[in-house]
Chains A and B, each alone.
Chain A
Amino acid sequence: TQLLEQSPQFLSIQEGENLTVYCNSSSVFSSLQWYRQEPGEGPVLLVTVVTGGEVKKLKRLTFQFGDARKDSSLHITAAQPGDTGLYLCAGALRTDKLIFGTGTRLQVFP
């Protein structure tokens, strides 16, 4: 069974703080995606990383794919209340399925 472990599970911070979410696995993925999901809605794609060592930036969000394509991180700079949500990483296998991480629930207080 492929597992994608995310840490931390929960994160509660003040507006303006920085944070990093980690996504780790023993499996190698052809690509990895990060999603954000708000209550009662479907996940919204933030980014797809494909190449080992790749770094992508989306405004205050920085995503990194591990060199071995087994892990990834999401760093948020100067978090804002609008960043609140469930963050999910998902690794793509050669079988075309996505394996979702365990999720990180982020709460940013004003």
Chain B
Amino acid sequence: GAVVSQHPSWVICKSGTSVKIECRSLDFQATTMFWYRQFPKQSLMLMATSNEGSKATYEQGVEKDKFLINHASLTLSTLTVTSAHPEDSSFYICSARFNTDTQYFGPGTRLTVL
């Protein structure tokens, strides 16, 4: 099956700092990557859709200047949480898709902002 990795798996940072999360498709080229956020005991909420070489499309209510997405290649997308605050603490999950509706998910990154 398709493998998607995320790095780091967890990160703790101070309020006001920026944190970068990487998402890589290891054995396939992803036409599209997606970033989700998941609060405890809740379902996944789509934050943005990222296509290689073009600007990300953000969902309503997601601040694009707060959550910077860069899709540098067909195997790598990054999410940078800028000037993080405690309310940004969450489980961030990426997924990658190629030529079908099926998305393959990374293992997630737990962000804790102190």
Contacts and interface: CB of A to CB of B under 8 A. Distances in A.
B105 A33 contact: no
Contacts, number: 60
A31 B4 CA distance: 21
* Interface size band for B: 20 to 34
A79 to B, nearest CB: 21
Nearest to A29: B101
Main secondary structure, interface of A, reads strand
B110 to A, nearest CB: 7
A96 B43 contact: no
Given A30-B101, A33-B102, A42-B93, A103 B49 contact: no
Interface string B41-74: 1111110010000000000000000000000000
Nearest to A105: B41
Contact of B105 (A31, A43, A48): A43
A100 B43 contact: yes
A96 B32 contact: yes
Main secondary structure, interface of B, reads strand
A100 B44 contact: yes
Contacts of B107: 41-42
B97 interface: yes
A102 B43 contact: yes
Given A40-B108, A41-B108, A42-B108, A101 B101 contact: no
Given A43-B93, A96-B49, A97-B49, A35 B105 contact: yes
Contacts of A103: 42-43
Nearest to A4: B43
* Centre residue among B104, B105, B110 by max chain A CB count within 10 A: B105
A78 interface: no
B102 A42 contact: no
Contacts of A41: 107-108
Interface of A: 30-31, 33, 35, 40-45, 48, 50, 88, 90, 92, 96-103, 105
Interface of B: 1, 4, 6, 32, 34, 36, 41-46, 49, 91, 93, 95, 97, 100-108, 110
